[in-house]
């Protein structure tokens, strides 16, 4: 069975009605809420791992209790984050609170459930319902991500004569997002200087490279493309330079058609 067939069967068992829109997104009626669901990441995980249970676990998150009402500001405040996402998301970002990072990357403001199992993009309507300003929302997200950076360890491995840095943090969907934090400099600069090169092909995969070793970047192409093409949540095949001026894409192992 395909991931879509498994997902449809899971919806049927839960008596959840759905339709498919023109972009292949699932419109699922959950209580009084019409939820739009993109199955792309689930498909990729299933094709990579052939794990039917992962599709079932995804469907379990479509619980009426999750969607029946918006949590209060005080409830959600500790769980507000931002997520680094590719800019070519089918549904776009118009309804969500977001910032452009590069031509291919977007910072999307989100909150998680306390168990970290589900991520909800924050809409402008949610911010209005919380009666907070967008600036306050962004400040809280920055503080919470900074705390994650402070909990992160930088692991270094030798690749010939060059050192590569990897971010070590307990299972989290925000590893790649940490590169956007101002605290990221404190994490990596003692070992790699500043600015640095970064590749983040997937949500849970980041390599850091010293600016002195630009010539080594080409040797990362194979692993970057493998992670980018096979990961359940790929982000970018671009090489990123991170410094005082922010984040810039300086090249790509898989250029976009509009590049």
Tell me: the pLDDT tens digits for 206-249? Answer: 999 999 999 999 999 999 999 998 887 889 999 999 999 999 99
Domain enclosing residue 7, as ranges: 1-69
Task: Please identify, among 12, 45, 69, the residue that sits at the C-terminal boundary of a domain.
Answer: 69
* Contacting residues for 86 by C-beta, under 8 A, at least 6 apart: 104, 105, 106, 234, 235, 236
Give the integer Cα–Cα distance in Å for 163 and 209: 7
120 falls within a domain = no
Average pLDDT over residues 10-18: 90
Instruction: Report yes or no on whether pTM surpasses 0.85.
Output: no
Give a yes or no: residue 64 inside a domain: yes
More confident residue, 114 or 131: 131
Sign of the CA dihedral running 110, 113, 117, 120: negative
- Quick count: other Cβ atoms within 10 Å of Cβ 24? 11
Give pLDDT tens digits for 87-113: 987 678 888 999 999 999 999 999 987
Summarised one tens digit per residue, pLDDT across range 151-168 is: 999 999 998 889 999 999
- Domain count for the chain: 2
Q: Confirm whether 75 is domain-assigned.
A: no
Residue scoring higher pLDDT (214 or 34) = 214
The residue out of 43, 69, 95 marking a domain boundary is 69
Whether 114 is covered by a domain: the verdict is no
* 84 belongs to a structural domain: no
Cα distances (angstroms) measured from residue 63 to each of 35, 59, 151? 11, 8, 31
């Amino acid at each position: 069975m395909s991931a879509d067939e498994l997902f449809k069967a899971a919806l049927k068992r839960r008596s959840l009605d759905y339709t498919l829109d023109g972009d292949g997104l699932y419109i699922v009626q959950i209580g009084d809420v019409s939820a739009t669901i993109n199955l792309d990441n689930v498909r990729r995980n299933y094709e990579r791992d052939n794990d039917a249970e992962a599709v079932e676990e995804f469907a379990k998150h479509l619980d009426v209790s999750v969607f029946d009402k918006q949590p209060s500001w005080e409830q959600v405040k500790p769980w507000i984050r931002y997520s680094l996402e590719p800019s070519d998301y089918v549904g776009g970002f118009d309804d969500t609170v977001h910032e452009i990072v590069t031509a291919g990357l977007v910072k999307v403001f989100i909150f998680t459930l306390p168990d970290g199992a589900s991520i909800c993009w924050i809409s402008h309507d949610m911010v209005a319902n919380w009666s907070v300003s967008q600036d306050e929302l962004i400040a809280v997200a920055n503080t919470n991500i900074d705390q994650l950076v402070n909990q992160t360890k930088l692991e270094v491995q030798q690749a010939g004569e060059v050192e590569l840095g990897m971010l070590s943090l307990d299972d989290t969907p925000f590893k790649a997002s940490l590169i956007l934090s101002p605290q990221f400099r404190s994490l990596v600069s003692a070992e790699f200087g500043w600015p640095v090169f970064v590749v983040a092909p997937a949500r849970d995969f980041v390599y850091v490279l010293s600016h002195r070793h630009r010539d080594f970047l080409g040797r990362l192409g194979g692993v970057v493309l493998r992670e980018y093409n096979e990961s359940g949540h790929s982000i970018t095949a671009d090489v990123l330079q991170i410094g005082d001026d922010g984040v810039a894409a300086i090249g790509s192992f898989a250029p976009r058609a509009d590049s």
